[in-house]
Amino acid sequence: MSTKNNQSKPKRDFTKMKTPHTYAIIFFVVVICWILTFLIPAGKFSTHTIEYLDSDGETSTRTVLMADTFRYSYNLDTDAVKEHLTAMDQDPALMEDLGVDPEALDAFLDTDSASWTQESLDELGLTDDVLYEQYGESIYDTSEKLHKIAGVWGTEDFGGFGFLNYVFEGLVTGDRSGSAVGICALILVVGGSFGIIMKTGAIDAGIYAFIQRSKGLERLALPLLFILFSLGGATFGMAEECIPFSMIMVPFVIALGYDSIVAVVVTYVASQVGNAASWMSPFSVAVAQGIAGIPVLSGASFRLALWVVVTLASAAYMMVYAERVRKNPSRSVMYQGDAYFRDRLNSVSEETREFNLGHKLILLEMLAVLIWIIWGVTQKGYYIPEIASQFFVMGFAAGVTAIIFKLNGMTINSMASSFQSGVADLAGTAVVVGMAKGILLVLGGSDADTYSTLNTILYGIGTVLHGVPAFIGAEFMYLFQSCFNLIVTSNSGQAALTMPIMAPLADLVGVSRQVAVLAFQLGAGFVDAFTPVSASLIGVLGVARIDWGKWARFQIKMQAFFFLLGTAAIAVAIAVNLQ
């Protein structure tokens, strides 16, 4: 009887389980990180500024941590500090060297040492780094390691940062040229501009014209586009620039019979594949090599060959998936979600599909602006503010052209409302960028010279790798850089935090520093295509209307493929003694 009941019991279909919303995933990650701050004490490093030759042969500077200066957060031992300062008061040369005013020090010594804090010492110019360099850990009461734990609720002005305020605090982090404020603003401006462009019908008409005239050769477009975007990632660190490109590629790829996941792969993932295997990126390879103390852009021939192999292998992986979707579209996890784009394409009337002069002019304007952006980024150093301005010009010019040629009933008012609708479509994506930044805030931030849980994790990983065999050490470096990129996605920022530790660690485990740089760039590049903390990825997913949870279901397999490629690359680099 029981056997019969067991046989009739329906099996649970795990493929149809509802994917958690991106907001929910990030919230639970924030909670987990908050719990970690209770378990892991805070730590910090001292920092210094180094000089190195950049990819243009010019001297650049970078503030990096000093690996041997890590210490946990402790309370001050005010009695020991008083002894040191009393001796300093009798040493004019030392006071002059440290920039301490003798009269201010005398007055300070007359106060009750029990009331001394690091903030009061800072006013004398005796920062924590200065005192530690001079006296080591003797200035601390090392009986208890302190934790840096955010409150449940609070702001900087009232009770300090509380983790439940991670959304707002994440959104207002940074400045106009960086995450999260700059990225959020860029996403909204790009959304509004493409709202106007989509309203003109030029992209839809262009897609239909291409399909009708390509005569079955359209499938060649995907691998060629993948190679182009990979080249962009390899040469100038293409990332945020993929957001507007994706607005064009998503409807184009779906019209060819694929899904929105393929559109994200052929744009953003391709750019990060190029970044991972780059031989010349000024934001990853050049910075990491400069910090590691090896010639900038050295090992270029190995990396160039690696870029060719990795790019072609990744493009082939994409095409295998893409052809499966084309043959059976319902197999895609985005089949229902992509109905939005399919319905819009199918609802276009024959009249609207006509590819007329106005449409051609708008597409030419878009091409001109995209060339302008690439030129500006590579030759003039344009970044987020300039790129946002350029895309606004693109949208405005498209709207004016549509009014002149009377495309899709465009008027000044409909142009404004289309901009508003485009902004609204990507507003949720902009919020995700702020949320993701909140994860880093809960862990105490990414500043090496500020006490945080993240710094302790960084130090702990470096300590674990001492004394392991060469390949195992290099592989752990790669694994660590991959995991670290789940939290810190800025390539240059990750290099500044990790390379001062990983470079000397490479010497200890018996691999070249060039291999340590390779492990960094592979981990930082590949995982950027997966991590929900990446503002650029979230922006592209928002454009494609893909929830991060669904993206992760696809991407986790591709990440395994990338990891195998990366492991093979490191093994070959060690075998040929890459220098």
Q: Is 141 helix (H, G, I), strand (E, B) or coil?
A: strand
* pLDDT reported for residue 34: 95
pLDDT of residue 212: 73
CB atoms within 10 A of CB 51: 9
Cα gap 235→378, rounded to integer Å: 9
Q: How far apart are CA 131 and CA 85, in angstroms?
A: 10
Cβ–Cβ < 8 Å for 497, 446: yes
- State the Cα–Cα distance between residues 527 and 505, nearest whole angstrom: 22
Residue 1 has what pLDDT?
43
Q: Say whether 265 sits in a helix, a strand or coil.
A: helix
Identify whether the C-beta of residue 469 lies closer than 8 Å to the C-beta of residue 509: yes
Beta-carbon contacts of 59 under 8 Å, excluding residues fewer than 6 positions away, are 51, 52, 53
In which residue are the tokens 């990891």 written? 563
Specify the pLDDT at position 15.
Answer: 41
The whole-number pLDDT of residue 182 equals 86
| Predicted TM-score (pTM) of this structure | 0.78
pLDDT of residue 2: 45
Phi, psi (degrees; rounded to nearest 5) at 385: -60, -45
Alpha carbon 385 to its chain centroid, in Å, reads 18
539's tokens: 């922006």
Q: ω before 571 within 30° of 0 (cis)?
A: no
Give pLDDT, residue 184.
86
Determine contact, residues 43/71, Cβ cutoff 8 Å.
yes
CB 25 within 8 A of CB 432: no
| Mean pLDDT for back-to-back runs of 10 residues, the chain (579 residues) | 47 52 84 94 90 71 84 94 92 90 91 91 92 94 94 88 92 82 86 89 81 71 90 82 84 90 95 91 80 82 94 96 92 89 73 80 89 81 85 93 92 95 86 82 88 89 76 90 86 83 81 92 94 87 90 94 96 90
Task: Report whether the peptide linkage leading into residue 495 is cis, meaning its omega lies within 30 degrees of zero.
Answer: no
Residue 494 neighbours by CB under 8 Å, 6+ apart? 481, 484, 485, 488, 520, 524
Residues 491/237, Cβ–Cβ less than 8 Å: yes
Query: 49 exposed, middle or buried (CB, 10 Å; 0-12, 13-18, 19+)?
Result: exposed
pLDDT at 341: 86
Q: At a CB cut-off of 8 Å and minimum separation 6, what does 95 contact?
A: 88, 89, 101, 102, 105
- Please name the helix (run of DSSP H) or strand (run of DSSP E) that holds residue 49, with its range, or none: strand 47-53
User: How far is the C-alpha of 359 from the C-alpha of 349, rounded, in Å?
Assistant: 15
Q: Give the pair of three-digit tokens for residue 311.
A: 């790019």
pLDDT at 487: 83
Contacts of 267 (CB under 8 A, 6+ apart): 225, 229, 242, 245, 246, 249, 540
Task: Encode 179-202 in three state secondary structure.
Answer: CCHHHHHHHHHHHHHHHHHHHHCH
Q: Which amino acid, residue 75?
A: N
Q: Helix/strand/coil (H, E, C) string of 65-77?
A: ECHHHCEECCEEC
Q: What is the largest CA-CA distance in the chain?
A: 95
